[in-house]
Amino acid sequence: QVQLVESGGGLVQTGDSLRLSCAASGRTFSSAMGWFRQAPGKEREFVAAIRWSVDRTYYADSVKGRFTISGDNAKNTVYLQMNSLKPEDTAVYYCGVNKRGYYTSSNFYDYWGQGTQVTVSS
């Protein structure tokens, strides 16, 4: 079926940058792809999403101005450029495929990757 693979996570210091990548393979249709993150003991939260048909992007308030989502619809690939990283950004970051909307809600994403760990030390 559909598989998603994230990469680019790692251990960095406060203020550093990382670029995450996610590639989806297999037969699928997506209206959008997005990034979510989950820290230990916390709920999975929305980070950013890109809506293909209108090239529109969405961001959580906590990352707006620091993170940038981009992608290539033809390749079913999305990226997340993360700048000015903070310890509170530490989490497992997941890439997902969305078919119908509600781009900021994890409940409406149909496929997920395995996640990539981002750790920001102070």
What's the pLDDT tens digit per position in 50-82?
Answer: 999 888 999 999 999 999 999 998 888 999 999
What's the pLDDT tens digit per position in 90-104?
Answer: 999 999 999 888 999
Please give the mean pLDDT across all residues of the chain: 94
Per-residue pLDDT at 9:
98
SS3 string of the chain?
Answer: CCEEEEECCEEEECCCCEEEEEEEECCCCCCEEEEEEECCCCCCEEEEEEECCCCEEEECCCCCCCEEEEEEHHHCEEEEEECCCCHHHCEEEEEEEECCCCCCCHHHEEEECCCEEEEEEC
pLDDT band at 1 (very low <50, low <70, confident <90, very high): confident
pLDDT at residue 20 above 90? yes
